[in-house]
Structure 1
């Protein structure tokens, strides 16, 4: 009986530990300024993660505009300790230079807070998105588009997903800004 109870207790502990947030896997990618960005370099500050690409003709432009609106509110509230990180889902086309040109199309309050990442293969980002964010990324072989989710992920200072939000329609900008502020308390 004691053995069965011990096994049950271990199973419960394993189940509970699996339910908690997990830190995303180590990465080292290149941003739009040609700088290396790692999950370690983002530690200590909350950051918003999203999946976009520069040639997107559907959801990415509004998602990027929504990220810019979030930043505008962060600036208005005097919040300075955060980052905005996008992972390109079309890394072959999205060079650092192309991503810099893409970002310049948007009215961003502080470009230094943005990291538009590339420097991996299409299969690598699809696997990274699935394994770390339970996000879907699929190259469309019949077009120049990539199918991907529209979720924004609020990452805490330890690189764990703290919250998720719709990043495309009905984006809860005020809530996201409040949640970032709470991360800094």
Structure 2
């Protein structure tokens, strides 16, 4: 098949538009959250099985939150590896407030405290990295974090990181799969404000 100049230019234009649209969509809902959003007041089970309110779990620390589920075999292991790299850098810079990582399950029907413990163990999570599972439907928390209605399909969840200040307020959303250094920088900033 021979390509005419017009067909070739049309193909290039369609490809460029698709890439630009994907990149634009990837950055919508990133950066500072204004006004700040209170953490959803939901019950969660931590990885030890203790029932707690999510704001209580977040309060008093600068916290980076990722959404995941323990049965995920696509992006969740990548997110875990990224938090593993972040964990290594948490102690390099101190702040006025402690820093913490939280893996928040979006599959309350499939995840248990035991499966969360196992997932954290596989990711080599240390004492500053916790896990929690919503007691009921995770759609509300996903919606609050993303700032929009979530996709109903668990496998298509976001790979953003959500940052909470010590008052348990959402104040920053990262782009998809952020660099560990960027996560550390935002946490350092929040720990000093």
TM-score, normalised via structure 1 length: 0.74
Q: Which runs of 5+ in 1 are unaligned?
A: 1-17, 140-144
Confirm or deny that 1:131 pairs with 2:148.
no
Match for residue 65 of structure 1? 81
Structure 1 counterpart of 2:160, from 151, 174, 177? 151
Normalised by the length of structure 2, the TM-score is: 0.72
Aligned counterpart for 2:186 among listed residues 144, 154, 179:
179
Partner of 2:23: none
What is the aligned length?
Answer: 157
Asked whether the equivalents of residues 44 and 52 of structure 2 are also in contact (C-alpha less than 8 Å), the reply is yes
CA RMSD after TM alignment: 2.3
Show CA shifts across 1:46-71 (max 9, x none): 10111100111111000011011111
For each residue in 1:23-53, what CA deviation from the matched residue of structure 2 results, as whole angstroms up to 9, or x when unmatched?
1221221111112332124212110111100
Match of 1:88 in 2: 105
CA 69–119 in structure 1, closer or farther in 2 if over 3 Å, else same? same
The answer to whether 1:27 aligns with 2:42 is yes
Off by >3 Å, runs of 4+ in structure 1 = 76-80
Cα deviation for residue 177 of structure 1 reads 1.2
Q: Residue 124 of structure 2: SS of its match in structure 1?
A: coil
| d(CA) in 2 for partners of 1:137, 1:115 | 25
Alignment partner of 1:118 out of 133, 153, 169:
133
1:154 Cα shift? 1.1
Give ranges in structure 2 of 5+ residues lacking alignment.
Answer: 1-32
